[in-house]
């Protein structure tokens, strides 16, 4: 009887382990199918469905579920993770100290230049320039800080804003989700005017240049108010990262 109990318990334990294996998200196969479709195209095609599929796959890879607060890709064993990295072309994956699943901007840009239309080629040139080698938005930097700081005073913010705003005006319906969010993020950066990588002077210089260059920006009024605040009450919202 005891032997039978032990065997049953062992079988139940194995079944539990089998159930614990993460189920492959459908979004991964949808992305790979979209990628194969673009690569097989013999005439220019829109890469917008591929971009949407890549972002959905990114969400699935990073989805946290169950105990341990682990992303889906962290729950794979080593052989499965190695297979995923080989299979998921167009993605940069990491699950060491930093955990991320990032669409590869250079890969997608090359794909767009070969298979995309004019709109796609313009979008992915911007998308590639948007990311730094550290996979941060180009207007941010890690430096020696534990959290990213804004590269005020270098002209990076304005250059990014001009590029994305120009694209949104030229193609208002194209890649709208990413474009709109990117513009919102940039506007929030200049409206707040905090967490600089350098000093207060660089923030003021950047903000003055921004309102001069983009007087019709939705946040131009907030930027002007922030400039007044920096001049009259600079200690209310310090520009340095905390």
* Tens-digit pLDDT profile for residues 135-168: 999 999 987 767 899 999 999 999 999 999 999 9
Cβ neighbours, 10 Å, residue 63: 14
Task: Give CB contacts under 8 A, 24+ apart, made by 143-149.
Answer: 143/197, 145/197, 145/241, 147/195, 147/241, 148/195, 149/195, 149/196, 149/197, 149/241
Residue 149 contacts residue 143 (beta carbons within 8 Å): yes
Predicted model pTM: 0.87
- Give 66's pLDDT tier (boundaries 50, 70, 90): low
pLDDT tens figures, 42-57: 999 999 999 999 999 9
Token representation of residue 95: 């699950």
The answer to whether residue 19 scores a pLDDT higher than 90 is: no
Token representation of residue 136: 């941060």
Question: What is the distance in angstroms between the CA of the first residue and the CA of the last residue of the chain?
Answer: 64
Alpha carbon distance 130, 124 (integer Å): 9
């Amino acid at each position: 009887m005891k032997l039978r109990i032990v065997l049953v318990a062992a079988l139940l334990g194995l079944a539990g382990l089998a159930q614990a294996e993460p189920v492959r998200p459908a979004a991964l196969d949808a992305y790979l199918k979209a990628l194969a479709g673009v690569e097989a195209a013999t005439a220019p095609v829109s890469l917008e469905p591929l971009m949407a599929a890549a972002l959905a796959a990114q969400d699935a890879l990073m989805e946290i579920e169950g105990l341990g607060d682990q992303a889906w890709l962290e729950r794979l064993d080593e052989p499965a993770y190695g297979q995923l990295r080989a299979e998921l072309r167009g993605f940069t994956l990491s699950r060491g100290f930093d955990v991320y699943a990032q669409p590869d901007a250079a890969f997608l840009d090359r794909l767009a230049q070969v298979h995309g239309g004019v709109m796609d080629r313009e979008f992915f040139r911007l998308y590639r320039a948007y990311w730094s080698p550290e996979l941060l938005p180009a207007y941010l930097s890690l430096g020696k800080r534990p959290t990213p700081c804004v590269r005020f005073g270098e002209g990076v913010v304005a250059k990014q804003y001009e590029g994305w705003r120009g694209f949104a005006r030229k193609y208002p319906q194209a890649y709208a989700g990413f474009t709109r969010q990117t513009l919102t993020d940039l506007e929030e950066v200049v409206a707040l005017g905090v967490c600089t990588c350098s000093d207060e002077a660089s923030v003021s210089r950047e903000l003055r240049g921004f309102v001069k260059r983009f007087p019709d920006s939705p946040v131009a009024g907030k930027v002007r108010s922030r400039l007044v605040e920096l001049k009259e009450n600079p200690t209310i919202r310090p520009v340095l990262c905390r």
